[in-house]
Amino acid sequence: MSTMEPTVRAGSGAMFDRIAGRYDLLNRLMSLGLDQRWRRQLVDATTKSAPAGELLDLATGTGDVAILAARSKGRTVVGLDPSAQMLAEAKEKIGPLAISLTQGDAEKLPFEGARFAAVTMSFGIRNVADRPRALAEMARVLVPGGRVGILELGEPNSAIARFHVHNIVPRLGAWLSNDAEYAYLARSIAAFPPPDEFAATMRAAGFVDVEARPLSFGALHLYTGTKR
């Protein structure tokens, strides 16, 4: 197993550059094929009461959420990610869909205020160093009444789920990718705040009607809210 260079911050775009070509396969295997269902739930929950307009997908990665939003909801989508290699993978997948891609940081979004009707983020907020700032940026670029949806893993309540996250996920990731990045995954999940604490951070950033919906026995949560 290789180790990450000291200059590559865990959870950074540079880290995801290293695993971009294997990212989709690893997601399918480590989630037992459930990750696409979770993403559909994210898109449905975020867009069902959002106003008409563009959707911004943060940590868009290889574009799965952006593709779902464009294909199933007819939304024009902007996908943003810090990893150039992940965006290259996404570009190969989006085809003629109304999706544009840009490299950037969730803590400093390169967009004018009140541009987007909805913002989604799947499995990315955990990797953001300053989460309150990123949430404030999401609120800034949303129109009043715009919707945010965040899908994120957390420390599961179930003993079986905890064993999967802390033992199976990093070992499977290391075996398939020959990299140390998936050991970081288990650590970052354990360090993510409890659902009520993260929901409070969303409210402090300017969101109302915040909900934290557990999925798959609490292995992850779907957080939704509306910009005041």
At residue 181, the pLDDT reads: 58
At residue 6, the pLDDT reads: 43
Global pTM reads 0.88
Going by pLDDT thresholds of 50, 70 and 90, the confidence category of residue 3 is very low
Domains of the chain: total:
1
Cα-atom radius of gyration of the chain, to the nearest Å? Answer: 16
Tell me the Ramachandran region of residue 203: left when phi exceeds 0, alpha when psi lies from -120 to 50, beta otherwise.
alpha
The enclosing domain of 219 has a CATH number of: 3.40.50.150
Residue 44 lies in a domain: yes
Residue 91 lies in a domain: yes
Scan for tokens 């288990």, then name that residue: 186
- 202 vs 228: which has the higher pLDDT: 202
Residue 169 lies in a domain: no
Instruction: Give the pair of three-digit tokens for residue 131.
Output: 């989460």
Q: What is the pLDDT of residues 45-60, one digit of tens each?
A: 999 999 999 999 999 9
Residue 88 lies in a domain: yes
Residues contacting 9, CB < 8 A, separation 6+: 15
- Contact, 26 vs 168, CB < 8 A? no
* Residues written for the chain: 228
Domain coverage including residue 121: 13-154+193-227
Cα-to-chain-centroid distance, residue 108: 16
Residue 54 lies in a domain: yes
Name the residue among 62, 41, 200, 213 with its Cα closest to residue 124: 62
CA 180 → CA 2, 89, 92, 167, 171, distances in Å?
Answer: 6, 21, 26, 13, 9
Going by pLDDT thresholds of 50, 70 and 90, the confidence category of residue 30 is confident
Residue 199 lies in a domain: yes
Residue 184 lies in a domain: no
Give the 3-state secondary structure of residue 114. Answer: coil
Residue 143 lies in a domain: yes
- Contact, 77 vs 13, CB < 8 A? no
Q: What is the mean pLDDT of residues 189-205?
A: 94
- Contact, 82 vs 105, CB < 8 A? yes
Q: What is the pLDDT of residues 166-194, one digit of tens each?
A: 777 666 666 655 555 566 777 788 889 99
Name the residue among 61, 51, 38 with its Cα closest to residue 150: 38
Q: What is the pLDDT of residues 129-148, one digit of tens each?
A: 999 999 999 999 999 999 99
